[in-house]
Amino acid sequence: MSGIASILNTDLLVATIRLSTPITLAAIGATICERSGIVNIAMEGIMIIGAFFAAVAALYTGNPWIGLLAGVAAGGIFSLIHAVATITFHLDHVVSGAVMNILSFGIVRYLMVMIFGHPGTSDAIPVGLKAYQFAIPGLSKIPVLGPVFFDQTPIVYMSFVLVILTLIFLKKTKTGLHLRAAGEHPLALETIGVSVYKMRYLGVFISGLLSGLAGAYLSIENSISFTEGMANGRGFIALAAMISGGWSAIGSFVAALFFGFADAFQVRMQVFKVLNIPSEIFIIFPYVATVLAVAGLVRKSRPPKADGIDFIIEKEGA
Amino acid sequence: MSKMTKITVIMLVISMVFAGLIFANGGSETAPAAEKSKVIIGMATDVGGLGDKSFNDGSYQGLLDAKADFGIDARVVESKQQTDYVPNLSGLAEDGAQVVFAVGFLMGDALIEAAENHPDTSFAGIDIFVDPSKAPKNVEGLLFKEQESGYVAGVVAGLLTKKYASASDRLNDDNVVGMVLGMDIPPVERYQAGFYAGVKSVNPDCKVLSVVTGTFTDQAKGKEAALAMIEQGADIIFQIAGLTGLGAINAANEAGVAAIGVDVDQSGVAPDAVITSAIKGITRAVYLTIKADLEGTFEGGGNKVFGINEDTTGISPFNKWDSIVPGDVKAAVQKAIDDLKSGKVVAPASRKEAGYEG
């Protein structure tokens, strides 16, 4: 089994990071969203919107950083549809999320035809964020961990920072506490004079920004063009990562890394032909691993008490 | 509760309006109104859609060529998901199309169903095998000997990766080449088997790797698969994965190695990295089929196989690599083409025939 030994190298870990980054970003976003009490299954759709607008902006300005901002902004704005539907209009969260996913396909297909004259794939952007890969002096020289964590592309670094920021935001800040209260006991929060609606809007909006960033990663950092269907279920894997990560930033990050690892591992298993089994087995491996992880860990992980539960303020005289 | 229902309905309507706009746009792009006198030729693409710079675009070009030559009314409908296949094919037939093309292996069952429901319309399926014993008489499968294109591309890769590795900085001495596959379906396997045989015919010691990604739309997966092989010393990546493969070509370009495109000339994706492309004359096959139908020689109830003798398989020009590829390699390519044409060499059509444990 010398094959297995040669798979386990630094390249595998670098690939793990590459594959898990979009899932990490969407999963920590979803964590914030669900902690505020709004179920979000629309990450897939928001990711597609983010990827599309990032590519379009990068293409027309020639600057991938503007593309990045456009992707994040588009994700945030698009997510507001979910916020308005679920918070203001009290629509069922899952229904709204499902509609969001379908809507995103329609919007993107329509705009593709309008802008590029055809659906499918966009023109290639002149410069991608990959060009801004930089090694942090000193730290990148550490064996194994150096190339994995400290010689990366911009959005990958951002994802590391954002995991920590999310953790601090939820645990240590007053707004974070209020946001969590909106998901655990909204009535109590409203009683102390903090708007549950505001907190929930904030939760959905942050998750939109992060999913948009995940989309931008796919189209302008990992690739140099937008392709319809390029999210390929990553938004749903992020959902699984959030659940098996127990609705916490670190848990989501670890679960996303696990999925990325499973995917990177199966590709290398195919390259090395360690086992002579049909390729389909390899392809489903990361998904099976995710299902098992969710099934195995979900008993221990507890959703916020008021997650998915509508909150209506009874006004006097209404 | 009623408010919730109302909002749900409104959101669904919005999404349907968008879906409608897409459909309208796909149709109106090539179908100006009031062309009733013209013969209508319809085409339903696979989910990859137009703009894949590969399979669907190649088919569409055939339609455009026929439009230019015969003045037909060309109509295209794009499938967004697999459940669109039958409605799209039937819709074109009901619009009065004389021939309806289904683009892609995955549309096989839908094609037969649509053909059975519209016996007066001719149907042709690209990459679809039509079982002559069961199929209705108005449907024809258009198949290609992808293994021949793969074989010729394999000869190029086999020679460049070792013997002529000094020709470019993008090549190394490791004697490894790699393939990125989309879904493991017959046309993809034929390319794979042919490529393997082509490499081995000129370079028996070469290590030929391959990864199946299981998708035709995920660039990130294609990139990952290519990088995993590049890490192992692969200096030429042959992509057989549609849009997924754009990620593979991008990865090869970024990693400073070379790539071979598929179906159509993909040099434009990364001119410095793409040596050549294993082409499939879908454009020509579509054109010839329309021509045959207009001349009344359309033969249904079976399959038409396009190969190197019809000039529908082979490789594209070397483009930017033309000055890099040594004359000996070009001579070997010509010899491989001649051998395939004369039948002296038969490219294997499956991994089993090729003896490849992919």
Query: What is the Cα B309 distance to its own chain's centre?
Result: 19
Q: Is residue B321 part of a domain?
A: no
Q: Is residue B264 part of a domain?
A: yes
Q: What is chain A's Cα-based Rg?
A: 20
Please check whether residues B235 and B151 belong to one and the same domain: yes
Task: Report d(CA B163, CA B155) in Å as an integer.
Answer: 12
- Cβ within 8 Å of B, A 181-240: 218, 222-225, 227-230, 232
Q: What is the CATH number of the domain that holds B167?
A: 3.40.50.2300
If phi > 0 it is left, if psi is from -120 to 50 it is alpha, else beta; for residue B311 that is left
Q: Is residue A252 part of a domain?
A: yes
Task: Report d(CA A40, CA A93) in Å as an integer.
Answer: 7
Residue B276 has pLDDT above 60, yes or no: yes
Number of domains in chain A: 1
B80 to A263: CB separation less than 8 angstroms, yes or no: no
Considering chain A, what is the average pLDDT of its residues? Answer: 91
Please check whether residues B190 and B334 belong to one and the same domain: yes
Closest of A17, A78, A67 to residue A42, by C-alpha? A78
Model pLDDT, residue B21: 52
Given a contact cutoff of 8 angstroms between Cβ atoms, the answer to whether A124 and A185 are in contact is: no
Q: What is the pLDDT of residues B297-318, one digit of tens each?
A: 888 888 999 999 888 899 999 9
Instruction: Give Cα separations from A245 to A159, A239, A290, B296 (angstroms).
Output: 16, 10, 11, 64
Task: Report d(CA A104, CA B16) in Å as an integer.
Answer: 12
Q: Is residue B102 part of a domain?
A: yes
Number of domains in chain B: 2
Find the CB nearest B3 among A89, A116, A283.
A89
Q: Where are the alpha helices (DSSP H) in chain A?
A: 2-7, 10-35, 43-61, 64-83, 93-116, 145-149, 154-172, 174-184, 186-191, 196-216, 234-244, 249-272, 279-297
Q: Is residue B190 part of a domain?
A: yes
Please check whether residues B224 and B209 belong to one and the same domain: yes
Q: What is the pLDDT of residues A171-197, one digit of tens each?
A: 999 999 999 999 999 999 999 999 999
Q: How confident is the model at residue A144 (pLDDT cuts 50, 70, 90)?
A: confident
Q: Where are the alpha helices (DSSP H) in chain B?
A: 2-28, 55-70, 85-94, 108-117, 146-161, 186-202, 219-231, 242-254, 282-294, 327-342, 351-354
Please check whether residues B140 and B155 belong to one and the same domain: no
Write the DSSP string, A244-312. Answer: HTTT-HHHHHHHHHHHHHHHHHHHHHHHHT-S---HHHHHHHHHHHHHHHHHHHTTT----TTTT----
Instruction: Give Cα separations from A239 to A4, A259, A301 (angstroms).
Output: 30, 12, 13
Q: Is residue B318 part of a domain?
A: no
Residue A36 CB partners (closer than 8 Å, separation 6+): A179, A180, A182, A183, A199, A200, A202, A203, A204
Highest-pLDDT range among A262-266, B86-90, B235-239: B235-239
Instruction: Give Cα separations from B64 to A12, B90, B277 (angstroms).
Output: 46, 21, 22
Residue B254 contacts A, CB cutoff 8 Å: yes
pLDDT, average across residues B280-290 = 91
Please check whether residues B130 and B153 belong to one and the same domain: no
Taking each helix axis from N to C end, the angle separating A249-272 and B219-231, rounded to the nearest 10 degrees, works out to: 60
Q: Is B66 helix (H, G, I), strand (E, B) or coil?
A: helix
Residue A140 CB partners (closer than 8 Å, separation 6+): A146, A147, A150, A151
Instruction: Give Cα separations from B143 to A238, A312, B104, B190 (angstroms).
Output: 40, 61, 10, 11
Distance from CA of A252 to the nearest CA of B (A): 21
Domain that holds residue A275: 2-128+140-297
Interface ipTM > 0.95: no
Task: Report d(CA B270, CA B136) in Å as an integer.
Answer: 44
Q: What is the CATH number of the domain that holds A211?
A: 1.10.3470
Residue B47 has pLDDT above 70, yes or no: yes
Model pLDDT, residue B1: 47
Q: What is the pLDDT of residues A110-125, one digit of tens each?
A: 999 889 877 788 889 9
Residue B5 has pLDDT above 70, yes or no: no
Please check whether residues B87 and B220 belong to one and the same domain: no
Range of weakest confidence among A81-95, A268-282, B251-265: A268-282
B219 to A230: CB separation less than 8 angstroms, yes or no: yes
Residue A91 contacts B, CB cutoff 8 Å: yes
Residue A259 backbone dihedrals phi, psi, to 5 degrees: -65, -45
Task: Report d(CA A29, CA A210) in Å as an integer.
Answer: 5
Strand order in the sheet with B234-240: B207-212, B176-181, B234-240, B258-263, B274-280, B313-315
Task: Report d(CA B78, CA B146) in Å as an integer.
Answer: 24
Select from B2, B11, B76, B274 the residue whose CB has the most chain A CBs within 10 Å, as the one to mutate to test that interface. B11
Residue A191 backbone dihedrals phi, psi, to 5 degrees: -60, -35
Please check whether residues B92 and B168 belong to one and the same domain: no
Q: How confident is the model at residue B28 (pLDDT cuts 50, 70, 90)?
A: very low
Please check whether residues B90 and B162 belong to one and the same domain: no
Q: Is residue A302 part of a domain?
A: no
Model pLDDT, residue B38: 83
- Pairing outcome for strands B99-103 and B40-45: parallel
Residue A318 has pLDDT above 50, yes or no: no
Task: Report d(CA B91, CA B103) in Å as an integer.
Answer: 15
Model pLDDT, residue B79: 82
- Cβ within 8 Å of A, B 56-85: 56-57, 78, 80
Q: Is residue B19 part of a domain?
A: no
Please check whether residues B130 and B228 belong to one and the same domain: no
**CB-count burial class (<10 Å; 0-12, 13-18, 19+) for A272:** middle
- Cβ within 8 Å of A, B 145-184: 178, 181, 184
B212 to A223: CB separation less than 8 angstroms, yes or no: no
- Pairing outcome for strands B274-280 and B313-315: antiparallel
Please check whether residues B56 and B151 belong to one and the same domain: no
pLDDT, average across residues B334-351 = 95
Model pLDDT, residue A1: 42
Find the CB nearest B49 among A120, A230, A282.
A120
Please check whether residues B344 and B196 belong to one and the same domain: yes
Instruction: Give Cα separations from B98 to B39, B93, B122 (angstroms).
Output: 7, 7, 6
Residue B215 contacts A, CB cutoff 8 Å: yes
Q: Is residue A36 part of a domain?
A: yes
Q: Is residue B9 part of a domain?
A: no
Q: Is residue A80 part of a domain?
A: yes
pLDDT, average across residues B249-278 = 94
Query: What is the Cα B205 distance to its own chain's centre?
Result: 29
Q: Which two tokens stand for residue B122?
A: 């001719």
Please check whether residues B101 and B150 belong to one and the same domain: no
Q: Is residue B6 part of a domain?
A: no
Range of weakest confidence among A277-291, B65-79, B112-126, B195-209: A277-291
Given a contact cutoff of 8 angstroms between Cβ atoms, the answer to whether A304 and A84 are in contact is: no
Q: Give B314's strand partners.
A: B279
B12-39 residues labelled b (16+ CB within 10 A) or e (exposed) = eebbeebbebbbebbbeeebeeeeeeeb
Residue B31 has pLDDT above 80, yes or no: no
Name the residue in chain B with its Cα closest to that of A16: B224
Model pLDDT, residue B30: 44
Domain that holds residue B82: 31-144+283-308
Q: Which two tokens stand for residue A15?
A: 């690939």
Query: What is the Cα A14 distance to its own chain's centre?
Result: 19
Residue A205 has pLDDT above 80, yes or no: yes
Distance from CA of A301 to the nearest CA of B (A): 30
Residue B49 contacts A, CB cutoff 8 Å: yes
Residue B116 neighbours by CB distance under 10 Å = 13
